[in-house]
Amino acid sequence: MNAPQMLPEPAAVAKMIDHSLLRPELTTDEVRAGCALAAARDTASVCVRPSDVRLAVAALAGTQVVVGTVAGFPHGDTTTATKVAETRELVADGAAEIDVVLHVGRLLDGDAAYVQDDIAAVVAAARGRTVKVILENALLDADAKVLGCRLAEAAGAHYVKTSTGFAGGGATADDIVLMRRTVSPHVGVKAAGGVRTLDRLLELAALGATRFGATATATILDDLAARRAAAAGTTVGADPST
């Protein structure tokens, strides 16, 4: 890949990234800094902890970066009523995207009705906001992954997502292929966990991933800019905001 036109535009790649700010030890100042980075890079969103939604909404006011957050996170085993209450509060606080963990145990039980109803209740509570369903693929076999994808789509989710990033494993090429093949074209596939390099992002995008959860946003986008500049015979520096 040695011509700049063969590499995607940095702006297009940025709009595929949900800049992740979910680590439990992040301070308020670190969350603000992460929001500033996302704004400077014009990512699709930030994905923050529920308690940080209002902070992120204020920090990103006037930008094109939306605020996403999580529900039922990270295990997915809270009751449906709890997920619904959480989602309603998050929407009221200004969240535009909700990444919700499905009930892994019920999925492995084969309790399709429970899993679908659980997701559908969150979709309804989100009132038109984007809902991404986290399968936690490291804990599932192929049949459970397929079932989870089908139930998420049937429940009205907008994306299926590989993992929380907190249960081991992460996005794999095989999982992206399986998920993309299982859901309809209008349902997105989000890769999360281990997407730390440009090469990895481009590999998974070629297989059908349409959104990426990443903490290494600056590294990925700086690498892309440097490669495009090198191919064009120019030089580029890292963004000073990072």
Find, among 90, 76, 66, 88, the residue nearest to 119 by Cα: 76
Q: Does residue 171 contact residue 192 with C-beta atoms inside 8 Å?
A: yes
The rounded distance, in Å, linking the Cα atoms of 114 and 102 is 10
Of the residues 99, 118, 175, 222, only one is catalytic, namely 99
d(CA 127, CA 91): 8
Q: Which is catalytic among the residues 83, 132, 145, 190?
A: 190
Cis link prior to 74 (omega < 30° from 0)? yes
Q: Let me know if 132 is a catalytic residue.
A: no
Among residues 83, 132, 145, 161, the one annotated as catalytic is 161
Does the active-site annotation cover 190? yes
By the 8 A CB rule, do 184 and 207 touch? Answer: no
Q: Is 222 a catalytic residue?
A: no
Alpha carbon distance 150, 116 (integer Å): 9
Task: Give the residue numbers marked as catalytic.
Answer: 99, 161, 190
